[in-house]
Amino acid sequence: MAGKLKIKNREGGFLIGVIGDEDTVTGFLLPGVGQVDSKRNKNYFVVSSKTPITEIENAFRAMTTRDDLAVILITQHIAEEIRHLIKDYDKLIPTILEIPSKDHPYDKEKDTVMQKVLRMRGTQ
């Protein structure tokens, strides 16, 4: 897949997916990133403290296999839960972007991509 990236634009643009706690999802839905299509497919997923990991995994898998998403925002503490999936994820689009949430500040040492960046800059 590397190097052979085909940049194709979709009719009607790409969506931004959000996986996060209630507040984060609410925040991003306010400017209007959310979309629920006729089959009740959502491009956001609310994780509470009671959500089992398998459900997060399923939501993540479902989102990464959709072809109308370009970026998936995922709060870092949820990303930690499904770190194994994020580490193995090798597609370019949708891009997984780890974001801070209200209760959990961003830690760049945990971010899969940032780990690489830090290693290459030699500041780890």
Partner 1 sequence: MAVFLVWPSEGEVVQSQKKTIMSGQGARINIFPTRMALTTMKSKLKGATRGHSLLKKKSDALTLRFRALLGKLADAKEEMGKEMKNASFSLATAKWAASPLDVSHTIIENVGPTAFEKLKINSDNVAGVELPVFEQLSDTGKQSEQLTGLGKGGEQIRKTRESYSKALKALISIASLQTSFVTLDQVIKITNRRVNAIECIVKPRLERTIAYIQSELDEIDREEFYRLKMIQSKKKIAADKREAELADLGIALPEKELVDTGISANIAAAFSEDAAEEQTEDSLIVF
Task: Report the interface residues with partner 1, using CB under 8 A.
Answer: 2-3, 5, 7-9, 12-16, 22-38, 42-44, 46, 70-71, 73, 92-93, 95, 97, 99-102, 105-106, 108, 111, 113-114, 116-118, 120-121
Paired tokens of 85: 């999936």
Q: Tally the C-alpha atoms within 13 A of residue 122's C-alpha that lie toward its C-beta.
A: 0
The helix (H) or strand (E) run that includes residue 70 is strand 69-75
Nearest to partner 1 of 43, 60 (CB atom): 43
For the residues of 29-47, what is the DSSP string, one character each?
HTTT---B-TT--BSEEE-
Nearest to partner 1 of 54, 109 (CB atom): 109
State the nearest-atom distance from the C-beta of 25 to partner 1, in Å: 7
